[in-house]
A and B are shown apart, each in its own frame.
Chain A
Amino acid sequence: DAKTTQPPSMDCAEGRAANLPCNHSTISGNEYVYWYRQIHSQGPQYIIHGLKNNETNEMASLIITEDRKSSTLILPHATLRDTAVYYCIVRVGGGSQGNLIFGKGTKLSVKP
């Protein structure tokens, strides 16, 4: 079973920041937080991942709370093309351990 809890859906206005929350209260010390998204009719796409520090890349920022029990994915300026299902996953980072186990994710709708 997925070890994360996400809201089933969210709306965001185009051009505004989209903040997607995720709870992972049972995360272990060696588990990373990964975010993927799935645009309609495509396979999931990697966005970002982190262990305990906040991370930023060209797509998004990941904010992980100090106790690591929750995190927020931030899309700073959402566009219509960011409409997708966003999955938050916890996974052991090394070797062949810890397969990606997907929950139902959050369906983000970006509206004009």
Chain B
Amino acid sequence: EAGVAQSPRYKIIEKRQSVAFWCNPISGHATLYWYQQILGQGPKLLIQFQNNGVVDDSQLPKDRFSAERLKGVDSTLKIQPAKLEDSAVYLCASSSARDRRIFNYGYTFGSGTRLTVV
């Protein structure tokens, strides 16, 4: 079974520039999450999708961050404009409630995109 795919793997941009990250979840997983992980900290949830609808975006800085999952499959997270404090690893994860065994295993994470803002 293919895992959660993310791209790019690394990105370096200057502050005030824009950047976008892409995630393709495991096939059939209805729920998709974006997490931000700052160096030395645990991942922090930014947004959760159920199919193409937003379930929780309470931690998403909506003045600069946006995310979409138009067809309920892959997803894009955008930052515009970027700030120095946005330097972090952005992790995508997916899960499925239809297969209880898989759901109880929690989420499957991708390897993340490491963003450096200079």
Interface residues of A, Cβ cutoff 8 Å to B: 2, 32, 34, 36, 41-46, 49, 85, 87, 91, 93-96, 99-105
With A2-B42, A43-B112 known as contacts, the answer to whether A96 contacts B106 (CB < 8 A) is no
**CB proximity of A80 to chain B, nearest CB, Å:** 21
The answer to whether A96 and B55 have CB atoms under 8 Å apart is yes
Residues of B within 8 A of A36 (CB): 106
The answer to whether A100 and B108 have CB atoms under 8 Å apart is no
Residues of B within 8 A of A49 (CB): 104-106
CB of B56 closer than 8 Å to a CB of A: yes
When A and B form their complex, what is the total count of cross-chain residue pairs whose Cβ atoms lie within 8 Å?
Answer: 59
Residues of A within 8 A of B40 (CB): 104
Main SS class of interface, A: loop
- Residue picked from B48, B97, B109, most chain A C-beta under 10 Å: B109
Contact with A along B96-118 (1 / 0, CB 8 A): 01000001111111111000000
Of all chain B residues, which has the CB nearest A95? Answer: B97
Residues of B within 8 A of A91 (CB): 106
Residues of A within 8 A of B104 (CB): 32, 49, 93
User: In whole angstroms, how far apart are the Cα atoms of A51 and B48 in the complex?
Assistant: 24
CB of B91 closer than 8 Å to a CB of A: yes
